[in-house]
Structures are given as C-alpha cells and as structure tokens.
Structure 1
Amino acid sequence: MTTDKILREALADHITASGDLRSPEWRQAVLGIPRHEFLRGGFFRRTDEGGRTGWEPVGPEDPAWLPACYSDDSLVTQVAGTVMPADIEGRIYRQPTSSSTLPGLVVRMLEELDVGDGMSVLEVGTGTGYSTALLCHCLGDELVTSVEVDAEISGRARAALGRVGHFPDLVVGDGLKGHPEGAPYDRLIATCGVLHIPAEWIAQVRPGGQILATVGGWLYSSELARLTVRQDGTATGRLLGGAVSFMLARPQVPPPLGVLPDMSEGEERETHLADDPLEDWTARFVAQLAAPRAQRFRLAQDGGDLDILLDVDAGAWAALRREGERRLVRQGGPDRLWDRIEDHLSRWHRDGAPTLDRFLITASPEGQEITWTT
C-alpha cells in the first residue's frame, strides 16, 4: 500500500472516531479521493513570531507536506486574494482568503446534507475541489455543480479534479447568486460563510430540498444551519451546533473601519452584563443577532484598553472599559448599539442561555430571522 493510501486510511479512521464520518458511502469517498492531489500547489503554514501572524509556503518538496495533506486540519491555500504558495519565498503578513477545509468538517457537512442517489447538488465555493470530488465520488459527476468566485482557484480545482478522474460542472461566478441554469437542485451546500441565506439559493432549490450553510456575522461567531425549502418560497430549519467557522463570502466581508469616531463623545453608563460576554462563542452569536453589522476591535489607551464595537455604515459605536470593579460602556452615533446587544443577551440569559442547536432559522426573499427555543 502506498504512503498516501496509508495516510487516507488513518484519516478515515480518525474522522470516524471523532463522529464526523458515519456512513460507509462517505468512508469510501474519503478512501477513494487523494486529498494531496488538491494541494499540489502547496499551502501556507502559520507563524506567530514577534507578535505578528505570518504565513510561509509549504510545497510538495517539503517532507511535512504529504502528512499535512492528510491531517484533519484546514490548510490555507491563498492569501490576500491573489497570492498562492508558489508565488513567494519567506513570509507574507496578510489575511488568508482561501483554504482547504479540515476533512472532518467537510465530511460532517456531507453527512448532514442527507444526499441520496439521483439527487443534484449545487456547491457554493469550489475551493481546492476536494469536497467537490467527494460529492462526485458518491453521486456521479453529472449531478454535481460547483460555483467559485475566483477564476484562478476554479482553474486549479478543475485540473485537480481531472487528475483524479472527475469532471463536474464547474462555474466561475458569484456563488451568492447560485447557478440558475442548473436549477432546481435537490441540495445546496456552501463552503463559505454568509451573513444571511440569499433569496437566490431558496429559489434554486426545489420544495422539500435542503440548504446547508454556515451563518454568522462580523463578530465572527458562526454556526452551521440546515434549512428545508417550502412551497411558499421560504426556508426553515435549525442550527446544528459545533461552532463551525468558514471564511465569509467575499461580497459579504466587512468594510474597512475608516476614520474612527471620537470615543470621548457619546453617553456613558455602567453595563449590567458579566465581564467580557463577547468572549463566549454563543453569546457573541446572540449579540450578532442584535447588531449584525457591528465589527469588534481593541484600542489601546492610557488607563486600559477599550473594547470597541463599530457599525461603519450606520455610524453607531460602543466602547467598553473597566473602572475598578465596574464595567462601563460609552455609546455614540444614531442609535445605541450596546443597548440592543445588552437587551438581546439579557433575554437569552433569562431563557436559560440555550445552546446553538436550539436555535431556529427562517429565511425568505424579505430577510432572515434567527430565534431560540427554551
């Protein structure tokens, strides 16, 4: 048995033991698809020296490359929107923009998709093409359509898929708009995060079909949602739990912070919430429901750091700080951002702080609502 097949067996065993891989069909797909073929261009390894996060390339000539390809880890494959591992030597200090998702999560999502023989699937976010290949292995190439916004990434995925003998319909375009030419689909799966379920996705999935996507916000707490499309053009479902995170779809990334407001203005009061409620993943998700366009950052100043929330488009902001045993918030702009967050978090706590798998989601062309059950 070749080294990569041994590594594939070990990966399948690992994600079976974790509970992500549950069915023989998807196990055969994991064993049958060589992940390293989708990482021939290398990946970026994270470095954290000198207090800065950097990325350095790792290619097939590196002894660490092949074992990493079969680790249950996400591997960054593009930085700053255009930079690939082969483009640089040394390090780059920019934000990742594309990655090969950890196999355990890929397989968990495919299991949750509940796809069967003869079902057509639209995948939003081709990426390296690895998850596309797994779908092709189980369903057949003719039933798989995958959309990728980046033409270069799509081209690399096409080449990798061809190397392993799969030729699905690959589309370059804005995945948030789906691919109406192939509709209706039985299933839609997104491998990028979204702020809300697009109306186009609902329209392109047949009634009774399902949408599986990661829903989150600019406070960077997100969760996997599975929705069933209804005859009335809405989609309803649940969050599945597990703190799932993907890079946001590029059209939905937050705007630049720009010129910051004067934090000495506004009105100050004591906040009634416990210290640092936004450090908790679920609490931060709840806060996003009240302030979906708020971004969070820290600002150093004499006397202690400010924890800042800023809605750039609305011009609303909140700055939290400690003063002895007290935690104070100062707010400014056209609306009181922290008041909304505090109210939402207080109601969630009064209801027993339910976990994310007790949240319900309803999406329609008019918008999206996420609530929780007690």
Structure 2
Amino acid sequence: MPLDLHEATSRQRAGMVDRLAADGVLTDSLLQDALLRLPREVLLPHAYVRVSGPGADPIDWRLLDGSHPDDRQEWLDLIHSDESILLQRDGEPLDALPRGPVTGGHMTSMSTYTPATVEALQAMELGPGQRYLELGPGPGVSLALAAAITGPGLATGVERDGHMAAFAGRNLDRLGLGATVVEGDALEGHEARAPYDRIHSGIGAPCVPEPWVEQLAPGGRLLTTLATGTPSWPGQLLVTRTAAGTVEAVLRGRPRGYRPLLGYRWLNALDHRARIKDDPGTARSTGLTPPPDDAYGFWLAAAYLAPGLVRDFQAETMTIVAPEDDSWAVAGTGDGTVRVHGPRDVWAELEGLHTLWEQAGRPERYRVDLGDTSGVQHVTSGAGSKALSWTLPPLAAVPGRRHDRAFSDRRHAARP
C-alpha cells in the first residue's frame, strides 16, 4: 500500500537530514532536530518547475500542486532536495495558483537552496531564548527553523511583498511555532521588536543599512550577503556587536549568496556566449594560472577592484566577460596561454590584481568599518601600504526600496 502523506514526508525529511549530515554541511544538533521536525510541505505547498532551456523568452513553466496525486511524488522529491523552490511569478497572489503549464513571467520569490540555509543558520549560532529577525523571509523556511530553535514569540520576519507575507504568515500559523511575519521594508529592519540577538538577511544589499546595525543587541550577530555588480563572486558579511557595544564586521568571499534588491542590475555573460564560442579572441602567453574557484578572497576583491566582470560558469575553461565593454578573456587548458578580445584586457586586470592580492598576503577575509559618521563603509584586508582596500557603494545607488528574495548559486550565475 502507498505511504500516507505524513509517513512519506517524515521519510523524506530524514533522508534530507542524513544527506546534509553526510555531506558535512549539517553539524548543529539543534538545527538537525528542527529540520527533522519541521513539515516543510506546509510552507512549500506548490512549486514551479522550469520547462524552457537557458535563454528562452518567454519562459515555459509547470506548476506542481502538492495536493494533487499526480504531482505529489515529484513535489515531495523537489521540496526535500537541495534545489531552490520556485514559488511566485511577478509578485502574483498565492491563494489559488492553477496547476499545470504556464508561460511567461519571472520568479519573484524562491525558497533558499537548502545547504545555504543550513550554513547561514549555523553561522548565526542560534540558541534558545534569542530574539531573531529575518529580513526577506519569503515562504518562511529559515524563519520557521529559527523559531523552532529560539522558542515561541521570538522570531520575526519582514517581507515587502504583501502576497508572500500573507502566504507565509498563514502557513507559519498552521505550524504553531509562534513566528511572526510582518509586511514592510526589510531595509528598515523592524524597530518595534528590537533589539535582536540574531539578524539574518535573505536579500543582498550593496552595503549594510544603518537600521540593521542599530537594532542589533549587545552580543548579537548579523549575517548578510553584500551584493556586488556581479553574481559570480558574492561576499558574506558577519557583523557582531560585543557585550561592550562595539561593532565588528568581517567580509568573506563565498561560493553562493542571496540575490540583491530589485533594481540592482546584475551583469550577465549569457548574451556573449555564442560570440565567444565563434571567436574566443587573440591568444597570448600569461604567467597567471587561472585561480581556483575556492580562492574566494581573490575573487571577492575582483568583484570590487576589477568591476564590470562576470564569470560564465558553464564554459569549458575559465571565461570572464566584461559585457558593457564587449570584452572577454578565455583561459587556456593549463598551457600558459589566454585568449583576449575587445578594448578591455580583462586578463591583464586579473593578472595585476592577483599580484596585489599576493603582496597583501593572499587575504581571505576583510575587515569592514561601519562606523564612519559620513555613512561611507570602508573595506580593508589589514594594515600597511600593501593592504587591499575599497569603499562599498551606497544604498542610495539602488533605485527604489524593494527587494527580491530569490537566491542565486554561483554555479548558475550565467543563467537568466
């Protein structure tokens, strides 16, 4: 006889947790228990599946309805996988979405890639009794997990999309965890319940909004993605407030990060892919072996100090494009050559930056000064004349005050 839904989801959750633990991603026992207990199917009752391939416009989708017998197994497998779950097109109401094929639109809300949720919540060092703020909670998966750990009445989410806020709020109420979702501007935090022991942002911002720091309690931790102009090399910022009230902030490069606020335009290598294949450029020798993907400190610096570049992670060899300059570089296959095209010598910039990065001691972490009275936030790899440094772009550079919950994995950075 087929398993009933409760037994099926329990087995799926156990399998998901076992996989995360076996992969070394899940190490916190409190979070492991929360993942085993949280019925994520309540928070993710439907899911869009993309049918069209890369570059298609309009895009063809298929909506899986978890309550429909013909969709149930595929839906269960998907919501317990390591994939982001696509939930909302173009800010649509979420009360009664039609099952089946649909064409057009772009995703405005997703659940987060599960290993990234685990990594973020573990970095927060959550514990019982902590006041928790989630900025841009989307459907509320990470908010629910945090509430299961911190306790009833302590976890709050701020969601700008009214339809998503209502959807997540209703589903969280069904779980009885005591988590609250309010509709509002996540950039303003939520002063009414401040201060918070833990603040987690599910959106990327070019710098740290002042209210986030102001609402962080002594001994608190704030975790966010710093959005750069490229999806290829995100940065993760951890802000801590000491018991004495001083603020410290450390920035690290990471393999993935949250997408930036709506209005923050990302670069894209997809439009150049066919041209690069036809004409990879003029070959020349290089002394720079393509830096490995996990040289996060170097690539994070490149996002700021060699601006306007985007990596095509689908290319056979390292391919980096400057779309706005119609330029690119295609690294050879370990033969000491690179091909370059266009008015901007992309590879020469990376060669120069790599030299500076090595002279700075190959930093993997950077200190961020959030205390400038002018509002300017400075980044540096350390003291001395050889340190790498730059200034974060202001929040005012982002048109509007809206954000997008969608999560991006570097491996899919070149996809539309």
* Greater RCO (Cα-Cα under 8 Å, separation 6 or more): 2
Which residue type is aligned with residue 247 of structure 1? Answer: R
Q: Which of residues 259, 263, 268 is equivalent to 1:247?
A: 259
Deviations 1:290-328 (A, max 9, x none): 256x36599xxxxxx993343xxxxxx463368x97745
2:42 maps to 1:37 = yes
Counterpart CA distance in 2 for 1:15 and 1:366 is 39
Quick one: which amino acid aligns to residue 139 of structure 1?
T
CA–CA distance in 1 between the matches of 2:54 and 2:128?
52
Q: In structure 1, what is the equivalent of residue 215 of structure 2?
A: 204
Question: Are residues 1:28 and 2:33 paired?
Answer: yes
> Residues 367, 4 of structure 1: CA spacing in aligned structure 2 closer, same or farther, 3 A cutoff?
same
Alignment of 1:1-374 (within 5 A): 2-40=7-45, 42-49=46-53, 52=56, 54-60=60-66, 61=68, 62=71, 63-82=73-92, 86=97, 89-220=100-231, 221-229=233-241, 234-239=247-252, 242-250=254-262, 252-254=264-266, 282=296, 283-290=298-305, 294=308, 296=310, 307-310=321-324, 317=325, 319-320=327-328, 327-328=339-340, 343-351=352-360, 353-354=362-363, 358-364=364-370, 365-369=375-379, 371=381
Ranges in structure 1 where 5+ consecutive residues have no aligned partner: 257-269, 299-304, 311-316
- Cα distance, 1:191 vs structure 2: 1.6
Of stretches 75-84 and 28-37 in structure 1, the one that deviates more from structure 2 is 75-84
Aligned to 1:301: none
State the percentage of identical aligned residues: 24
**Contact 2:196–2:220 under 8 Å retained in 1:** yes
67-76 or 42-51, which deviates more: 42-51
Structure 2 gap segments, 5+ residues each = 1-5, 269-283, 313-318, 389-416
Q: Contact 2:64 / 2:100 at 8 angstroms: preserved in 1? A: no
SS of the residue 1:64 aligns to: helix
**Change in CA separation of 1:50 and 1:212 when aligned onto 2, cut-off 3 Å:** closer
Shift of 1:206: 2.1
SS at match of 2:103: coil
Partner Cα distance (2:8, 2:265) in 1: 40
Contact 1:297 1:308 in 2 (8 A): no
RMSD of aligned alpha carbons: 3.8
Separation in 2, partners of 1:193, 1:122: 15
1:50 & 1:238 partners in 2: Cα distance? 32
Contact 2:47/2:64 (CA < 8 Å) preserved in 1? yes
CA distance in structure 2 between the aligned counterparts of 1:127 and 1:115, rounded to whole angstroms: 20
CA deviation after TM superposition for structure 1 residue 279, in Å: 8.3
Alignment check: 8 A CA contact 2:329 2:346 kept: no
Distance 2:381 2:62 in 1: 42
| Per-residue deviation, 1:193 | 2.2
Question: 1:72–1:103: 8 Å Cα contact kept in structure 2?
Answer: yes
Q: State the TM-score, normalizing by the size of structure 1.
A: 0.76
Cα-to-partner distance string for 1:18-67 (whole Å, 9 max, x where unaligned): 22222322122111110111111x11113344863643222212031122
Give distance in 2, aligned partners of 1:340 and 1:326.
13
| Aligned equivalents of 2:146, 2:54: Cα separation in 1 | 42
Query: Aligned residues, how many?
Result: 342
- Distance change in 2, residues 1:337/1:274 (3 Å): closer
Please state how far the C-alpha of 1:168 moved relative to its aligned partner.
Answer: 2.3
